[in-house]
Amino acid sequence: MTKIILKKGRDESLRRFHPWVFSGAVAQIVGQPSEGDVVGVFAHDGSFLAYGHYQIGSIAVRILSFAGEDVLGPDFWVNMISKALKVRQATGLANGLETNCFRLVHGEGDGLPGLIIDWYDGVCVMQAHSVGMFRSKGAICEALKSVFGERLKAVYDKSSGTAPFKAGLDLVDGYLYKAEGFSDDEQVVLENGNKFFVNWTEGQKTGFFLDQRENRALVGRYSSGRNVLNLFCYTGGFSVYALRGGALRVDSVDSSKKAVEMVSRNMSLNGYGSDLHEDICADAIDFLRQVPEDKYDLMIVDPPAFAKHRGALNNALRAYQRLNAAAISKVAPGGLVFTFSCSQVVDKEAFALAVFSAAAQTGRSVRILDRLNQPSDHSVNIYHPEGEYLKGLLLYVE
């Protein structure tokens, strides 16, 4: 096995269980690893540190195990997926009757850097973000079969948009496994008792934004008697909860036509007629511009990540400020704004500062009622704070 030997003093983060080896920390590579190979990582004095997937790029090794070699034996994937499932069982997510979709594996949060697996009532949709995970697809699929047995309906690999292309691998999405008789690319899942169509082949990400489950429930609790505007609605998660919570009316806006069509289907699926909602395909900022000032007294602002890397941070902060100023200025007096950022590089403090600047720009009196986060199945490894990405604020605007 290839040995990666670190520069003197560059072993500290690994000794604190941070799961990445940056290429700048590498002193020597003993062997000729291919991208995605499992390599051993050693300190400058030759002491063993960890095993991980090798890749060319700023992160040279993504750590899979800080323990001995046997951990990477045949049971490795079954052990890791079983552990991830156990956490979802401990929180009640994996055995609930009201919810049958959740994130099963959240990368570093579950000790598997570069791997996402979402569970949709028996269908596992996986996305590999590293070459190592992409090359491990077959083993991961076998492990899922072994962990879930007959409960597993299908495993769909959706890595073409996430795996690094320079690897020159054949990137085509498709099923790695289908149980006998399973034929659909879409199915209905339950989230807190609400029904949603999820289409993993055509939808964004793995088909559904599972990370907003708890925040949607909160919106539901605040919606009674309110006129709701759901901006960046995707397939209408927040919209369905708002109506379930007693909203008078919900308007949902997204720039994707496919998403907006899905909102209508999800509304009907939950028994809501067109008298209660309108689904609008438009740019969110353009839409906000023509909104009358007292029309909506609850707004949800959940844009896509404005900053995908550190270089885009300043532009992203300005975009968050502009968007939030537009929303805060238009919400009716006594109204609520649920505002989010899913950009990993924008931390809680920076986001709060952007929203503070937005509020100041409008001159309105704004209180923070609650601080919002990602849910427990999007787990954060305490040694890898970079895993925290979704943050939000619940604002009360006088």
234 binds ligand SAH (CB under 6 A): yes
- Considering only 84, 228, 259, 307, the residue that binds ligand SAH (CB under 6 A) is 259
201 binds ligand SAH (CB under 6 A): no
Q: Minimum Å distance from CB 110 to ligand SAH?
A: 22
- Considering only 147, 262, 284, 319, the residue that binds ligand SAH (CB under 6 A) is 284
Residues in 206-225 that interact with ligand SAH by CB under 6 A:
209, 212
**Cα 200 from Cα 223, distance rounded (Å):** 29
The 3-state secondary structure of the chain, one letter per residue: CCEEEECCCCCHHHHCCCCEEEHHHEEEEECCCCCCCEEEEECCCCCEEEEEEECCCCEEEEEEECCCHHHHCCCHHHHHHHHHHHHHHHCCCCCCCCCCEEEEEEHHHHCCCCEEEEEECCEEEEEECCHHHHHCHHHHHHHHHHHHHHHCCEEEECCCCCCCHHHCCCCCCEEEEECCCCCCCEEEEEECCEEEEEECCCCCCCCCCHHHHHHHHHHHHHCCCCEEEEECCCCCHHHHHHHHCCCCEEEEEECCHHHHHHHHHHHHHCCCCCCCEEEEECCHHHHHHCCCCCCCCEEEECCCCCCCCHHHHHHHHHHHHHHHHHHHHHCCCCEEEEEEECCCCCCHHHHHHHHHHHHHHHCCCEEEEEEEECCCCCCCCCCCHHHCCCEEEEEEEC
Q: Minimum Å distance from CB 284 to ligand SAH?
A: 4
- Count residues binding ligand SAH (CB under 6 A): 19
Which stretch in 125-133, 221-229, 302-310, 364-372 sits in contact with ligand SAH by CB under 6 A? Answer: 302-310
- Considering only 256, 264, 329, 362, the residue that binds ligand SAH (CB under 6 A) is 256
291 binds ligand SAH (CB under 6 A): no
CA-based R_g, the chain, Å = 22
33 binds ligand SAH (CB under 6 A): no
Which stretch in 56-64, 143-151, 226-234, 371-379 sits in contact with ligand SAH by CB under 6 A? Answer: 226-234
392 binds ligand SAH (CB under 6 A): no
Reading across the β-sheet that carries 298-301, which strands appear in turn?
277-281, 249-254, 227-231, 298-301, 335-341, 391-397, 366-373
374 binds ligand SAH (CB under 6 A): no
- Considering only 75, 98, 283, 294, the residue that binds ligand SAH (CB under 6 A) is 283
161 binds ligand SAH (CB under 6 A): no
Q: Minimum Å distance from CB 113 to ligand SAH?
A: 24
251 binds ligand SAH (CB under 6 A): no
Minimum CB distance to ligand SAH smaller for 52 or for 207:
207
- Considering only 68, 174, 225, 304, the residue that binds ligand SAH (CB under 6 A) is 304
Which stretch in 169-177, 227-235, 314-322, 387-395 sits in contact with ligand SAH by CB under 6 A? Answer: 227-235
Enter the tokens of residue 396. Answer: 């009360």
341 binds ligand SAH (CB under 6 A): no
Q: Minimum Å distance from CB 305 to ligand SAH?
A: 9
Minimum CB distance to ligand SAH smaller for 132 or for 303:
303
Enter the tokens of residue 246. Answer: 């007693």
- Considering only 237, 245, 387, 392, the residue that binds ligand SAH (CB under 6 A) is 237
Minimum CB distance to ligand SAH smaller for 19 or for 303:
303
For binding to ligand SAH (CB under 6 A), which residues are involved? 204, 209, 212, 232-235, 237-238, 253-256, 259, 283-284, 302-304
